[in-house]
């Protein structure tokens, strides 16, 4: 079906570009199949099933964090057509908030008879984790709100490059503010003892035991929950409808009685809250926070957003997941050195953009932008 | 509307001023200090360059403090000759770009006669090109990459050992412990990759199986690499690089169930390694590191230094603080010799550089120093140390497993 429409459209001869595309695709597919044979079927595989499961777990956890951050980029881009480069640093603020909540709760004694030294953090892990997420998301949301108000709103009418520079400036400001306030040392995230890092369910496979970490499962479950909630918010509620209307056409939305500035503020609040929760997850799962903790995840999530089709919410989720899995499993699958994981991730980004210039699920284009 | 954004802006400005006020001892404040004394004619400055901010600042700040203490205690004779000695601390942020930019400022200040510096070889190597072009003496308290001296610059000296020996010491140690297979990692810097390559060479020569050689700039999430290490199942993992990465990786590897031995280098020697990785360093087959700077107990003459340092700065000296004290002391002695040779007049930079190289049997607190023709110490000490406690306060109690005196390879 697709083939015929393609033919029908191109009554002109097949362009050289298309030919090269097809050739590249065929080569790549052949290489992947050859690798598949090499990795799984040929004699002694370099990694057993247990290693693949470990790769997969770590990829999915990383991917779900990327997805949460990527949505922040996509939401803002969808509405303002600008890349909010300070988004990763908003995530850092969320991570620090979660860290301070845990630190504080660790100081509150909550003795029971058989354990007089018990602290609140370990006595009420569910409340503690919830509190960390609430505080982290709130701090990040408030920062997102003020970031927009101070750094972006005054530049609303300016050419598109101007807020971009402002965003980079805001990012540097936030990183250095955190450096001076919290110091340059890495801070160890003190988890409740029930979700100690490195502990989890044991899965016996292939004669080895693979640990499915509690923190990883928590991360995946929470991000799925948040993503579903966000999807419902955007698709089913009044606010979501208003956001989509503003994304479509600001002046028409204003004529319909929508408070455009209010909606933009709320978008930043939502994207900040997402980044904040991602930051707390990062801290709980990986255990270290410092002033630059948001930088690399921020860049990666931006890549994920482009990969999935910027402006497109399900695209950002898919892109984040895809990038996380490529990064962890890709080098092993292709038999290359792990220091090339970023090279691999970006090569795949280029490849995908050659075939689908608007990302995996397509860019959401409004008329204003076209 | 305008008023409101103006209020926000002014708040922002106030906040940033308040923030900069928190950060202390930046080169900017130093520059402001140095302008005040009017006796500019006889002021001689010794510059220190080390990471004063960033995740390696624990060590870098004490390199500066060590130099400060040396100047406070040892500049008496120079004062009697009518010279004022000052320390000009610079923050290289463990970053080559910052190091070179600072180096340009340093050579532009004619009062600076000697540089006590750099913690990172990757920063020292490009920065010392600038010192070399200006004829400015540089005594390094910590840089171990061979290139630091093998360029043969007359100005560049160090008082510590070299990675082409240190990597070998690490590999020999692994072999002596009966390790049969090893996975080698590094941080892609001149220092880390260099030492990892020397380790790998010697490990192969000793018949160890090298199961992997990987560089990584990762700082937080080592999951994929750890999975591949666990799949390869080496008896030991070697990390050529700094504690800020190595400790995180070691901790995550233990969390994921790796039980083998960890070996690292002098970049691992910081109490912050215990702060990051804690008790995981003692689990499994334990954690060892080679170093060119032993704990204070390894040197006979450091007891007074440790007491004085504690009195002045309120904490135990980190590794390389004593070396930095000696580097600054070597600078002072050389400046003194150069002044004497110049009829008690201000010496030239070239004369100071020459005087450093010509020092005979200089007795510092970490040893007696003579430099060879390229600026390496004629004999350097190497240690292999085992981590004994996950408590950062107990870092200096780590146990010395081996002490070796080795001459550098012939220049």
A177-213 pLDDT, tens digit per residue, is 998 888 777 788 888 888 887 788 888 887 778 888 8
Q: What is the mean pLDDT of residues A3-10?
A: 45
Confidence at residue B153, expressed as pLDDT on a 0 to 100 scale = 92
Query: Which positions ≥6 away from B39 have C-beta within 8 Å?
Result: B84
Q: How many CA atoms lie within 13 A of A339 on its CB side?
A: 12
Q: Nearest 10 degrees: CA dihedral of B128, B134, B135, B136?
A: -60
pLDDT digits (tens, 9 = 90+) for A230-285: 989 988 999 999 988 888 888 888 898 888 889 999 999 999 999 999 999 999 98
- Distance linking the first and last C-alpha atoms of chain A: 28
Structure-token pair, residue B69: 């203490």
SS3 of residue A287 by DSSP: coil
> How many beta-carbon pairs below 8 A join chains A and B?
103
Q: Do residue A184 and residue B276 have CB atoms under 8 angstroms apart?
A: no
For chain A, give the mean pLDDT. Answer: 84
Q: How far is CA A339 from CA B83, B96, B217, B271, in A?
A: 53, 21, 8, 28
Confidence at residue B131, expressed as pLDDT on a 0 to 100 scale = 94
Among B65, B128, B59, B66, which residue's Cα sits nearest to residue B99? B128
What is the C-alpha separation between B64 and B45, in angstroms, rounded? 13
Bridge partners (DSSP) of residue B303 are none
Among B206, B254, B205, which residue's Cα sits nearest to residue B229? B254
Domain boundaries, chain A: 49-355
Bridge partners (DSSP) of residue B137 are B114
- Of residues A60 and A115, the one with the higher pLDDT is A60
pLDDT digits (tens, 9 = 90+) for B114-142: 999 899 999 999 999 999 999 999 999 99
For residue A338, name the pLDDT band (cuts at 50, 70, 90): confident
Query: Which positions ≥6 away from B94 have C-beta within 8 Å?
Result: B51, B54, B55, B56, B60, B119, B120, B123
CB of B243 within 8 A of CB of B268? Answer: yes
Q: How far is A98 from chain B (nearest CA, A)?
A: 17
SS3 of residue A265 by DSSP: helix
Q: A50: which chain B residues are within 8 Å (Cβ-Cβ)?
A: 231
Confidence at residue B15, expressed as pLDDT on a 0 to 100 scale = 59
The helix (H) or strand (E) run that includes residue A24 is helix A16-36
The helix (H) or strand (E) run that includes residue A242 is helix A238-248
The answer on pLDDT for B18 being more than 60 is: no
Confidence at residue B24, expressed as pLDDT on a 0 to 100 scale = 41
CB of B43 within 8 A of CB of B109? Answer: no
| Number of neighbouring beta carbons within 10 Å of residue B357 | 18
Residue holding tokens 């991360």?
A: A219
Least confident range of A117-126, A353-362, B394-403: A353-362
Q: B15: which chain A residues are within 8 Å (Cβ-Cβ)?
A: 177
What is the C-alpha separation between A85 and A89, in angstroms, rounded? 8
The answer on pLDDT for A330 being more than 90 is: no
CATH of the domain spanning A49-355: 1.10.3470
Q: Which of B55, B216, B230 sits opposite A338 (nearest CB)?
A: B216
* Selected residue of A53, A54, A148 to mutate for chain B interface (largest B Cβ count, 10 A): A54
The percent of residues in chain A predicted with pLDDT above 90, rounded, is 25
For residue A137, name the pLDDT band (cuts at 50, 70, 90): very high
CB of B193 within 8 A of CB of B147? Answer: no
The answer on pLDDT for B173 being more than 70 is: yes
Q: Which of A184, A211, A328 sits opposite B257 (nearest CB)?
A: A211
Structure-token pair, residue B112: 């600076």
User: Model's pTM, two decimal places?
Assistant: 0.77
Q: What is the mean pLDDT of residues A340-359?
A: 82
Confidence at residue A17, expressed as pLDDT on a 0 to 100 scale = 78
Question: Would you state the CATH architecture of domain B163-291+382-406?
Answer: 3-Layer(aba) Sandwich (3.40)
Q: What is the mean pLDDT of residues B84-89?
A: 93
**A234 has a chain B CB within 8 A of its CB:** no
* Selected residue of A52, A157, A198, A332 to mutate for chain B interface (largest B Cβ count, 10 A): A198
Chain B: residue whose CA lies nearest to A209: B257
The answer on pLDDT for B81 being more than 70 is: yes
**A47 has a chain B CB within 8 A of its CB:** yes
Q: A64: which chain B residues are within 8 Å (Cβ-Cβ)?
A: none
ipTM of the complex: 0.73
For residue B28, name the pLDDT band (cuts at 50, 70, 90): very low
- The alpha carbons of chain B give a radius of gyration, in whole angstroms, of 22
The answer on pLDDT for A5 being more than 50 is: no
Q: B392: which chain A residues are within 8 Å (Cβ-Cβ)?
A: none
Q: How far is A330 from chain B (nearest CA, A)?
A: 10
Confidence at residue B12, expressed as pLDDT on a 0 to 100 scale = 58
Q: Which of B19, B219, B231 sits opposite A177 (nearest CB)?
A: B19
- Of residues B220 and A228, the one with the higher pLDDT is A228
Q: Do residue B224 and residue A341 have CB atoms under 8 angstroms apart?
A: yes
Chain B: residue whose CA lies nearest to A330: B224
For residue A314, name the pLDDT band (cuts at 50, 70, 90): confident
**A288 has a chain B CB within 8 A of its CB:** yes
| CATH 3.40.50.2300 residue ranges for chain B | 39-161+300-378, 163-291+382-406
- Distance linking the first and last C-alpha atoms of chain B: 70
Confidence at residue B26, expressed as pLDDT on a 0 to 100 scale = 41
Q: A51: which chain B residues are within 8 Å (Cβ-Cβ)?
A: 227-228, 230-231
Query: Which positions ≥6 away from A230 have C-beta within 8 Å?
Result: A71, A270, A274, A313
Q: Do residue B53 and residue A179 have CB atoms under 8 angstroms apart?
A: yes
Q: What is the mean pLDDT of residues B339-354?
A: 91
Q: What is the mean pLDDT of residues A64-81?
A: 89
pLDDT digits (tens, 9 = 90+) for B236-250: 999 999 888 999 999
Among B110, B71, B115, which residue's Cα sits nearest to residue B90? B115
Asked: is B39-161+300-378 a CATH 3.40.50.2300 domain? The reply is yes
Confidence at residue B138, expressed as pLDDT on a 0 to 100 scale = 94
Buried/exposed code over B204-227 (b: 16+ C-beta within 10 A; e: otherwise): eeeebebbbbbbbebbbbbbbbbb
Chain A: residue whose CA lies nearest to B253: A198
**A343 has a chain B CB within 8 A of its CB:** no
CB of B155 within 8 A of CB of B128? Answer: yes
Confidence at residue A130, expressed as pLDDT on a 0 to 100 scale = 92
Confidence at residue A29, expressed as pLDDT on a 0 to 100 scale = 84
* Selected residue of B224, B240, B252 to mutate for chain A interface (largest A Cβ count, 10 A): B224
CB of B258 within 8 A of CB of B230? Answer: yes
CB of B226 within 8 A of CB of A55? Answer: no
For residue A346, name the pLDDT band (cuts at 50, 70, 90): confident
What is the C-alpha separation between A361 and A370, in angstroms, rounded? 18
Q: Do residue B224 and residue A327 have CB atoms under 8 angstroms apart?
A: yes
Chain B: residue whose CA lies nearest to A206: B231
Q: Do residue A338 and residue B225 have CB atoms under 8 angstroms apart?
A: yes
Confidence at residue B97, expressed as pLDDT on a 0 to 100 scale = 92
DSSP E strands, chain A = 187-188, 200-205, 208-213, 288-289
Confidence at residue A247, expressed as pLDDT on a 0 to 100 scale = 86
């Amino acid at each position: 079906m697709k083939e015929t429409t393609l033919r029908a459209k191109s009554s002109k001869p097949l362009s050289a570009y298309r030919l090269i595309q097809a050739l590249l695709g065929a080569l790549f597919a052949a290489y992947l199949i050859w690798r598949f044979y090499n990795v799984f079927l040929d004699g002694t595989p370099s990694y057993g099933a247990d290693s693949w499961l470990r790769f997969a777990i770590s990829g999915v956890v990383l991917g779900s964090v990327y997805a949460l951050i990527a949505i922040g980029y996509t939401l803002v881009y969808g509405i303002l057509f600008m890349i909010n480069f300070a988004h990763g640093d908003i995530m850092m603020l969320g991570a620090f908030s979660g860290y301070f909540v845990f630190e504080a709760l660790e100081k509150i004694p909550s003795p029971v008879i058989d354990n007089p030294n018990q602290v609140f953090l370990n006595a009420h892990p569910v409340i503690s984790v919830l509190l960390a997420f609430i505080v982290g998301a709130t701090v990040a949301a408030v920062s997102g709100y003020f970031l927009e108000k101070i750094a972006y709103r005054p530049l609303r009418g300016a050419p598109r490059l101007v807020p971009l520079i402002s965003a980079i400036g805001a990012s540097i400001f936030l990183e250095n503010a955190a450096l001076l306030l919290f110091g340059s040392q890495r801070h160890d995230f003190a988890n409740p003892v029930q979700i100690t890092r490195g502990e989890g369910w044991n899965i016996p496979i292939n004669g080895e035991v693979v640990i499915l970490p509690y923190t990883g499962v928590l991360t995946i479950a929470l991000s799925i929950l948040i993503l579903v909630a966000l999807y419902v918010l955007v698709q089913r509620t009044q606010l979501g409808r208003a956001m989509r209307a503003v994304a479509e056409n600001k002046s028409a939305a204003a004529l319909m009685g929508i408070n455009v500035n209010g909606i933009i503020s709320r978008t930043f609040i939502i994207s900040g809250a997402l980044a904040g929760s991602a930051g707390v997850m990062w801290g709980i799962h990986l255990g270290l926070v410092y002033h630059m903790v948001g930088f690399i995840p921020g860049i990666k999530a931006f890549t994920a957003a482009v990969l999935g089709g910027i402006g497109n919410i399900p695209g950002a989720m898919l892109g984040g997941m895809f990038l996380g899995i490529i990064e962890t499993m890709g080098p092993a699958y292709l038999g290359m050195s792990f220091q090339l994981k970023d090279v691999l991730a970006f090569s795949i980004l280029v490849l995908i953009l050659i075939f689908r210039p608007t990302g995996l699920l397509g860019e959401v284009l409004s008329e204003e932008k076209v | 509307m305008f008023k409101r954004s103006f209020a926000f802006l002014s708040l922002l400005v106030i906040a940033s001023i308040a923030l900069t006020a928190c950060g202390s001892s930046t080169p900017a404040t130093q520059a402001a200090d140095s302008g005040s004394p009017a006796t500019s004619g006889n002021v001689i400055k010794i510059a220190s360059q080390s990471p004063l901010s960033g995740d390696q600042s624990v060590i870098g700040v004490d390199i500066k403090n060590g130099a400060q203490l040396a100047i406070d205690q040892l500049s008496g004779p120079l004062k009697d000759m009518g010279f004022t000695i000052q320390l000009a601390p610079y923050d290289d942020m463990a970053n080559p770009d910052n190091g070179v930019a600072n180096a340009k400022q340093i050579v532009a200040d004619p009062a600076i006669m000697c540089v006590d510096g750099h913690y990172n070889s990757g920063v020292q190597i490009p920065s010392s090109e600038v010192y070399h072009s200006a004829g400015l003496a540089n005594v390094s308290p910590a840089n171990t990459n061979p290139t630091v001296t093998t360029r043969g610059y007359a100005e560049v000296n160090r008082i510590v050992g070299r990675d082409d020996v240190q990597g070998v010491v690490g590999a020999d140690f692994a072999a002596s412990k009966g390790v049969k297979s090893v996975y080698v990692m590094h941080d892609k810097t001149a220092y880390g990759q260099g030492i990892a390559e020397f380790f790998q060479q010697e490990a192969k020569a000793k018949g160890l199986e090298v199961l992997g050689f990987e560089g990584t700039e990762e700082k937080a999430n080592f999951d994929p690499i750890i999975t591949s290490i666990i799949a390869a199942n080496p008896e030991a993992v070697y990390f050529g690089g700094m504690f800020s990465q190595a400790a995180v990786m070691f901790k995550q590897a233990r969390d994921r169930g790796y039980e083998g031995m960890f070996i690292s280098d002098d970049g691992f020697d910081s109490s912050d390694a215990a702060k990051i990785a804690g008790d995981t360093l003692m689990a499994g087959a334990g954690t060892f590191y080679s170093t060119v700077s032993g704990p204070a107990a390894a040197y006979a003459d450091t007891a007074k230094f440790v007491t004085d340092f504690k009195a002045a700065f309120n904490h135990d000296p980190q590794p390389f603080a004593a070396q930095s004290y000696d580097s600054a002391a070597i600078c002072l002695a050389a400046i003194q010799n150069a002044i004497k040779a110049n009829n008690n007049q201000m010496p030239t930079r070239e004369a100071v550089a020459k005087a450093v190289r010509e020092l005979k049997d200089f007795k510092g607190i970490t040893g007696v120093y003579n430099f060879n023709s390229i600026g390496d110490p004629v004999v350097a000490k190497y240690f292999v140390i085992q981590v004994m406690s996950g408590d950062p306060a107990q870092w200096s109690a780590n146990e010395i497993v081996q002490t070796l005196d080795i001459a550098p390879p012939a220049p």
